[in-house]
């Protein structure tokens, strides 16, 4: 439906970029659909982990649909901007842990979707890049800021200013891939990780993600206060009581 599909398996939600015939290039309709899906998933308390994957064999996502943009006026390009920001912001703002399962090309917006995830699982075919400056644009899906935070200033500048492509060996060395897997297995590995996350306390996991996301851009004292808030959120919840009881009773926790 408009290039995005959703697969649910228990507490794990898989959001699929599903426009393989266009290498999952992000169109306006696809961006609208993705933003709506992220709102629905983010508001679902039973969703505990999210996998962002892609259909087809050649690409995770090659970024914005430049064929669509080729016929747009300046006014239409600027009108498209909030739609795209909502799509990228939707992925970045999900309260559940997000694992990107990357294969093939992850270029421009595709690379930015991966950077928006909490973890990136990439297979041997993965190729990352932020080539926007080559078409007269700046990465606009969070690329400049997310690359800066994940890779550091020098490596972020390397990717953004040159627009070059990075294959899997360099992606691992740069920190663009957290887990490297065999070709064709990124989705399987990402779903396995999501399943492991989903077995943990959803209250604790969401609180931990919030502390980690907000703590990255502040000083240590403020960051530790964020951790304190996360700890108190979890410790004051029914999940803490259930988790400790289940441990002592040697059974699987039944999270509320």
Q: Read off the tokens for 67.
A: 């064929």
Report how far residue 57's alpha carbon sits from residue 239's, in angstroms, rounded to the nearest whole number. 40
Residue 36 backbone class (left: φ over 0; alpha: ψ -120 to 50; beta: rest): alpha
Determine the 3-state secondary structure of 185 from DSSP: coil
Helix 238-249 with 202-215: angle, nearest 10 deg: 120
- With a CB cutoff of 8 Å and minimum separation 6, the contacts of 75 are none
Determine the 3-state secondary structure of 153 from DSSP: helix
Q: Which of 114, 132, 142, 171 is an active site residue?
A: 132
Q: Read off the tokens for 205.
A: 């996991």
Other Cβ atoms closer than 10 A to 112: 29
User: Contact, 42 vs 94, CB < 8 A?
Assistant: yes
Catalytic-residue membership of 109: yes
- With a CB cutoff of 8 Å and minimum separation 6, the contacts of 223 are 211, 214, 215, 216
Q: Which of 64, 101, 147, 230 is an active site residue?
A: 64
User: Contact, 29 vs 67, CB < 8 A?
Assistant: no
Catalytic-residue membership of 68: no
Determine the 3-state secondary structure of 47 from DSSP: coil
Q: Which of 110, 112, 129, 177 is an active site residue?
A: 112
Catalytic-residue membership of 170: no
Q: Which of 90, 109, 110, 142 is an active site residue?
A: 109
Catalytic-residue membership of 76: no
Residue 34 main-chain phi, psi, to 5 deg:
-65, -40
Enumerate the active-site residues.
64, 109, 112, 132
């Amino acid at each position: 439906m408009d290039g995005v599909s959703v697969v649910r398996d228990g507490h794990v939600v898989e959001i699929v970029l599903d426009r393989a015939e266009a290498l999952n290039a992000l169109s306006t309709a696809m961006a609208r659909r993705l933003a709506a899906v992220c709102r629905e998933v983010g508001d679902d308390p039973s969703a505990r982990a999210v996998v962002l994957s892609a259909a087809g064999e050649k690409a995770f996502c090659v970024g914005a649909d430049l064929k669509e943009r080729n016929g747009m006026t300046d006014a239409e390009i600027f009108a498209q901007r909030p739609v795209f920001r909502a799509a990228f912001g939707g992925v970045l703002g999900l309260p559940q842990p997000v694992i990107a399962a990357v294969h093939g090309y992850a270029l421009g917006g595709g690379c930015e979707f991966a950077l928006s995830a909490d973890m990136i699982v990439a297979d041997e075919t993965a190729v990352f890049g932020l080539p926007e400056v080559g078409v007269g644009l700046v990465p606009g899906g969070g690329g400049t800021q997310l690359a800066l935070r994940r890779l550091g200033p020098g490596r972020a500048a390397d990717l953004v200013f040159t627009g070059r492509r990075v294959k899997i060996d360099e992606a691992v060395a740069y920190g663009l891939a957290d887990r490297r897997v065999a070709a064709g297995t990124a989705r399987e590995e990402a779903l396995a990780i999501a399943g492991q996350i989903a077995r943990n306390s959803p209250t604790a996991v969401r609180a931990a993600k919030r502390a980690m996301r907000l703590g990255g851009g502040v000083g240590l004292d403020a960051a530790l206060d964020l951790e304190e808030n996360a700890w108190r959120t979890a410790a004051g919840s029914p999940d803490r009581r259930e988790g400790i009881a289940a441990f002592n009773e040697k059974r699987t926790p039944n999270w509320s």
